[in-house]
Structure 1
């Protein structure tokens, strides 16, 4: 294709392409939305003019009503719902990328003022383009057809000769092209202004960042729940299954009862873990209609956790553990669970000593087990359990630490009893 052909094709696409047509629809929609405000303007301006018919009145009445309608449009644009409606229409018809426009209602003063500016610009300019689209095409088509139809020529009162015929056809065609060009240019102008007036304000960006931070914190919390629950279950099941396998391989009939107890512990552990897994997955599947709270086990269920942990635990308590607030009690349960999982993974069946003391201001947890003779097998990338323990304590305003100390692996945590999730 030659260069002039490409230029004509590009010009035709710019004036009559799909984007130009959608933007013209956007402008006409703005003109339609202005009509109620324009009618109110005619009621205000009508008594000040000599027009007997509001719709066929003078230009003074038409533009006077238009001038009254614009401030009313600006006031309507201040309502919070004006922005989401405008954003939906601009995304669909103006071809503005969605990420450049704000989501949700306009809550701040700056956002409402900018939305009012967009609403006024859209409806005001749209009314002018709509009026031109209604009035100009019939007149332009009449000029084009006047050399062929004498009735049209007589109605318009134009002379009949060759030069006038060419001039009228050219004038009518030029009017239609000019209307298309003005409509496309106006639509492009609105598309450029949409991100400026409908884009997110600094307050919107801050609110979006806070939402993302909240969502990330929730995802991390759920990841810790899954890690602690499933990780502990797998560690306990692995240990119990290994012990049962060794007993079966030994062929000693007297140890059948031990195998039965091991299998029962595996069954109970997996059943409990599946229930906890269902709870977490159910929370993930919520579509925003839940309260986002995961009611996990608390210290009231500690005895059951220790009995099926797969390791001998000596428990020392001080204070009333059942009186600890639920948020703190849930985190304390998970910290103990992770401590047991860590002991199972790295120290096998070595006994664990657990101290839990509920004071007036804080809950103290301390776990100890012998350090194994051989170094523990490290997983690729390292484990997440002890990091999760520290995160749980930090969320409550407390602190946690873990590490070897004089031949003993010690995990300790202090949780303020006034801490909240």
Structure 2
């Protein structure tokens, strides 16, 4: 016996060692229960053994069509298919099993109801066939085994009468069980394929899932940008303050630097905790800095040695939360870039709000290396441009009249 023969035999027998094969078998057997229940309602159905399985496959059809019209039936069948028919995360028969590709959402339209009806009819007919073979094939194997040695005359089975006893029946006795297992494996695989097609997500379900995933990715991207701006600003201020305190100055100067480092670190921890709560709970926590808190950004930059000239006009506190929050982060990132790339130089900040939105402008003396082209790799400028685009605003950054200028216009979103 060659290795290839052993491998082929192992491939044929492998399904018999999988739990999934027997859960699919159970799923098919359960499908015939509705036929049995219908048989108790229909008088005399079980008095005709030759046709009882046919009646079990026909009588429940109207009931199943009516059940398919109920939206929740699709969800019930989807749950059963996930647990019994298709591979799922709890299966232990193979590594890398993926979640089942069937939906557990109720029917959203008549197309979903029609697909559910097709699934119920397929499950009924296949289940009745497998149930009939599950009952009669083992009985046939038993009859062949007994008729190989018994001398009681011909034996009747569901597949016809057996002839006179003969020893060669013993060679045929195992084959009904082999056929039964082949039918079970094949019907289970076919049921899984049909389930993927009829119970799988519809086009509307796939679109909703894609929109949900896109929204989640956008939220994670926004959160990453929040952390980049907040923690980056805090670390920049703390590094500048620590360097200034180490370089010299009196005890009072060092005390002020340490106090600034402490306040900045505390604010950064607050922002970090807010971001972690969003990741853990999925709901943005209340609060958060906005343009009404821009004064603390200016004070932080001044404490780092920058000479800040600020002009804040208009109803900044009346801006929508999203506009105020994104505007605050853009000013924060702009000041961070100034401290990181230009050092403690004079900076002018202008925030002008009105009913239509807010205009932001940050200017500083042009350094030897443009902001965003050093260690930050331009992520800060790219993030500010994304923030403005998200709010349907405008953004520009670049040298002008010997200064580096960052300007943005954020509309008030109606």
**TM-score, normalised relative to structure 2:** 0.84
Matched with 1:263 is 258
Pairs aligned (count): 396
Matched with 2:296 is 304
CA distance in 2, matches of 1:92, 1:376: 52
Which ranges in structure 1 are unaligned for 5 or more consecutive residues? Answer: 249-254
Q: 2:39·2:46 contact (CA, 8 Å) conserved in 1?
A: no
Q: 2:154·2:164 contact (CA, 8 Å) conserved in 1?
A: no
Matched with 1:17 is 16
Q: How do residues 147-296 of structure 1 correspond to structure 2 at under 5 angstroms?
A: 147-148=148-149, 153=152, 156=155, 164-247=165-248, 255-286=250-281, 290-292=282-284, 295-296=287-288
Matched with 1:63 is 54
Q: 2:86·2:100 contact (CA, 8 Å) conserved in 1?
A: no
Deviations 1:283-313 (A, max 9, x none): 1123xxx434674211222222221232332
Q: Structure 1 residues 102-111 or 318-327, which shifts more?
A: 102-111
Q: 1:361·1:416 contact (CA, 8 Å) conserved in 2?
A: yes
CA distance in 2, matches of 1:7, 1:163: 40
Q: Structure 1 residues 387-396 or 89-98, which shifts more?
A: 89-98
Shift in alpha-carbon separation, 1:4–1:141, aligned structure 2, 3 A: farther
Matched with 2:387 is 392
Deviations 1:238-267 (A, max 9, x none): 11111111115xxxxxx2111110110000
* Cα shift at 1:77: 4.5
Q: 1:30·1:124 contact (CA, 8 Å) conserved in 2?
A: no
Q: Secondary structure at the match of 1:17?
A: helix
Shift in alpha-carbon separation, 1:34–1:291, aligned structure 2, 3 A: farther
Q: 1:32·1:127 contact (CA, 8 Å) conserved in 2?
A: no
Matched with 2:410 is 415
Q: What is the alpha-carbon root mean square deviation over aligned residues?
A: 3.2
2:107 pairs with 1:101: no
2:361 pairs with 1:363: no
Q: Structure 1 residues 163-172 or 342-351, which shifts more?
A: 163-172
CA distance in 2, matches of 1:376, 1:314: 20
Deviations 1:99-126 (A, max 9, x none): 6723441535434433432333233212
Which ranges in structure 2 are unaligned for 5 or more consecutive residues? Answer: 158-162
Q: 1:283·1:294 contact (CA, 8 Å) conserved in 2?
A: no
CA distance in 2, matches of 1:302, 1:4: 74
Q: Structure 1 residues 259-268 or 378-387, which shifts more?
A: 378-387
* Cα shift at 1:333: 0.9
Q: Structure 1 residues 391-400 or 96-105, which shifts more?
A: 96-105
Shift in alpha-carbon separation, 1:264–1:107, aligned structure 2, 3 A: same
Q: Structure 1 residues 54-63 or 116-125, which shifts more?
A: 54-63
Shift in alpha-carbon separation, 1:11–1:346, aligned structure 2, 3 A: closer
* Cα shift at 1:405: 0.2
Q: Structure 1 residues 120-129 or 139-148, which shifts more?
A: 139-148
CA distance in 2, matches of 1:347, 1:155: 104
Q: Structure 1 residues 263-272 or 308-317, which shifts more?
A: 308-317
**TM-score, normalised relative to structure 1:** 0.83
Choose between structure 1 and 2 for higher RCO, CA contacts under 8 A separated by at least 6 residues. Answer: 1
CA distance in 1, matches of 2:4, 2:348: 88
Shift in alpha-carbon separation, 1:376–1:56, aligned structure 2, 3 A: same
* Cα shift at 1:365: 1.1
2:342 to 343, 347, 361: 347
CA distance in 2, matches of 1:416, 1:7: 68
CA distance in 1, matches of 2:123, 2:226: 50
Q: How do residues 21-100 of structure 1 correspond to structure 2 at under 5 angstroms?
A: 22-40=20-38, 42-43=40-41, 45-46=42-43, 51=44, 55-77=46-68, 79-81=73-75, 82-92=77-87, 98=98
Q: Secondary structure at the match of 1:364?
A: strand
CA distance in 2, matches of 1:61, 1:381: 77
Q: 1:28·1:126 contact (CA, 8 Å) conserved in 2?
A: no
* Cα shift at 1:145: 2.7
Shift in alpha-carbon separation, 1:236–1:22, aligned structure 2, 3 A: closer
* Cα shift at 1:381: 7.3
